[in-house]
């Protein structure tokens, strides 16, 4: 753990205060010390790197809100269906996990092919349904983040469904029986029994999803490459490009530390949420 986690993080934190680049990497300990200069540049909206970094933070927030919320409602709807008795329920429960267990590189490569402008089936079906009048370029420009959102929702909702289904099975059936005797409708049963009793597991699930989505990398890298463009730039791809393509190790490390602090805040909230005594039963 010290070699894999602690030392790399400590080294990244140290070089974030230095002007370390291609010319000084051979003797990194003698790279010019610039204090918080890299942090100021990374958060300066008027600098090229700072502007893209702040835009990437906005993009990942926008992406996370869309992916988590839509994925949650899809997962909840399917979990409610799978919580009912019907023939073949066990088989269906296994089949819905297929998108989640497919490796990221395979799943997102297939989605990249489907979103191709000329030969992708997305444009083909949208044209045949009359939703668009001409082929759209999905993987470049303003629309590229929406292509990644669709693929991420498809990949992630089965996990949400699985967790919510586990939560649904902990709700006592006696509550529903009592509600039916009192004349409660299906909607009232969901509103006053199901949804409130799912809130503890929902809050933990949303915190975990926020952590994972804020650190998203595979889907953007596989579908859009190492330079997704301003409209779909996220912190992880920008840091990779600044540090290892442009060889600006100092500013790349500073942006990594800023991202780590943001993730640390979410992690503290998550730990506080799952701590014994904090989870509501």
Question: How many other CB atoms are there within 10 angstroms of residue 115's CB atom?
Answer: 24
C-alpha distances in angstroms, 213 versus 72, 92, 152, 221?
13, 27, 9, 14
Look over the chain and give the mean of its residue pLDDT values, rounded to a whole number. Answer: 89
Q: How many CA atoms lie within 13 A of 112 on its CB side?
A: 16
Q: What is the pLDDT of residue 62?
A: 95
Query: Region 247-265: what's the mean pLDDT?
Result: 91
Distance separating alpha carbons of residues 273 and 278, to the nearest angstrom: 6
Radius of gyration of the chain (CA): 23
Nearest CA-CA partner of 75 in 207, 212, 206: 206
Q: What is the pLDDT of residue 51?
A: 92
Residues, the chain, total? 281
E strand or H helix at 50: helix 48-82
Nearest CA-CA partner of 34 in 11, 53, 15, 52: 15
Distance separating alpha carbons of residues 61 and 65, to the nearest angstrom: 6
Encode pLDDT of 17-62 as tens digits: 988 888 888 787 788 888 899 999 989 888 888 999 999 999 999 9
- The CA-CA-CA angle for residues 70, 57, 104, to 5°, reads 55
pTM summary value:
0.88
Higher per-residue confidence, 9 vs 63: 63
Q: What is the pLDDT of residue 276?
A: 61
* CB neighbour class for 127 (10 Å; exposed up to 12, middle 13-18, buried from 19): middle
The pLDDT of residue 102 is above 80: yes
Query: Region 248-258: what's the mean pLDDT?
Result: 92
Q: What is the pLDDT of residue 125?
A: 93
C-alpha distances in angstroms, 198 versus 33, 142, 171, 202, 212?
51, 36, 9, 6, 21
Helix and strand counts by DSSP (H, E) for the chain: 14, 0
Q: What is the pLDDT of residue 278?
A: 54
Encode pLDDT of 133-157 as tens digits: 888 899 998 989 999 999 999 999 9
Encode pLDDT of 224-234 as tens digits: 988 898 999 99
Q: What is the pLDDT of residue 253?
A: 92
Distance separating alpha carbons of residues 104 and 215, to the nearest angstrom: 14
Residues 6+ away with beta carbon under 8 Å from 14: none
Query: Region 154-182: what's the mean pLDDT?
Result: 92
Encode pLDDT of 109-131 as tens digits: 999 999 998 889 999 999 999 99
* CB neighbour class for 31 (10 Å; exposed up to 12, middle 13-18, buried from 19): buried
* CB neighbour class for 8 (10 Å; exposed up to 12, middle 13-18, buried from 19): exposed
Q: What is the pLDDT of residue 207?
A: 86
Q: Return the residue matching tokens 């204090």.
A: 35
% of the chain exceeding 90 in pLDDT: 54
Confidence class for position 277, pLDDT limits 50, 70, 90: low
Confidence class for position 281, pLDDT limits 50, 70, 90: very low
* CB neighbour class for 98 (10 Å; exposed up to 12, middle 13-18, buried from 19): exposed
Q: Is the dihedral of CA 178, 184, 185, 190 positive or negative?
A: negative
In this structure, what token pair is assigned to residue 71? Answer: 């994925």
């Amino acid at each position: 753990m010290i070699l894999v986690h602690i030392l790399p993080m400590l080294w990244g934190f140290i070089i974030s205060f230095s002007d370390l680049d291609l010319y000084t990497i051979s003797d990194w300990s003698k790279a010019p010390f610039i204090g918080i200069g890299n942090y100021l540049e990374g958060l300066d909206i008027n600098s090229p790197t700072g502007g893209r970094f702040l835009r990437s933070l906005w993009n990942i927030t926008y992406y996370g809100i869309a992916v988590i919320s839509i994925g949650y409602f899809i997962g909840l709807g399917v979990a409610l269906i799978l919580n009912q008795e019907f023939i073949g329920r066990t088989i269906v429960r296994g089949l819905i996990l297929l998108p989640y267990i497919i490796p990221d590189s395979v799943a997102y490569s297939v989605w990249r092919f489907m979103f191709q402008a000329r030969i992708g089936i997305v444009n083909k079906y949208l044209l045949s349904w009359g939703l668009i009048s001409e082929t759209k370029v999905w993987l470049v420009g303003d629309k590229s983040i929406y292509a990644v959102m669709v693929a991420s929702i498809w990949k992630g909702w089965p996990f949400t469904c699985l967790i919510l289904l586990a939560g649904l099975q902990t709700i006592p059936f006696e509550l529903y029986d009592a509600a039916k005797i009192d004349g409660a409708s299906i909607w009232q049963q969901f509103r006053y029994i199901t949804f409130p009793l799912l809130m503890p597991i929902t809050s933990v699930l949303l915190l975990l999803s926020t952590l994972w989505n804020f650190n998203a990398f595979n889907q953007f890298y596989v579908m859009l490459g190492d330079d997704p463009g301003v409209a779909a730039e996220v912190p992880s791809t920008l840091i990779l490009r600044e540090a290892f393509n442009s060889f600006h190790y100092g500013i790349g490390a500073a942006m990594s530390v800023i991202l780590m602090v943001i993730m640390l805040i979410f992690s503290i909230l998550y730990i506080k949420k799952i701590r014994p005594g904090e989870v509501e039963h």
